[in-house]
Amino acid sequence: MFLNPPILILYWSSIHKKHKEEIWEAALWHKGVENDFTAREQIYRMKLRHTIAVHSIPAIWTVVLMLMNTNTVLMKRHAPYLAGFCIYYGFVNYIAVFNIRDGRPIYSFITWRD
């Protein structure tokens, strides 16, 4: 719930355009086979729909849930869990960049080169 606003802002303002290009490039080869234009376009549209859904639907439902329960408050005792989650997320991102994507950053603003 707390991560939806930053995800929405970062993804839709700076990541979406580049991610669409990456999806198009990745759709050329699917399961080891080079695709013709029609198959590539079909794979691209499927992956684009998935990307839009995973970056929109959670936020929409967060708003719906918050409208249903107007007594939502942040609790100080949850802060350590949120901090722990952020550390864990950073670790997983680091592993993904260097072990899964061969050094190619997932996000242009987190390159892990500094």
User: Taking the domains of the chain in order of start, what are their residue ranges?
Assistant: 1-72, 73-114
Residue 113 confidence (pLDDT) above 80: no
The percent helix, strand, coil of the chain (3-state, each to 5) is 70, 5, 25
pTM above 0.75, yes or no: no
List, for residues 73-101, the tens digit of each pLDDT value. Answer: 778 888 888 889 889 988 888 888 777 77
List, for residues 41-80, the tens digit of each pLDDT value. Answer: 999 999 999 999 988 888 888 888 878 877 767 788 888 8
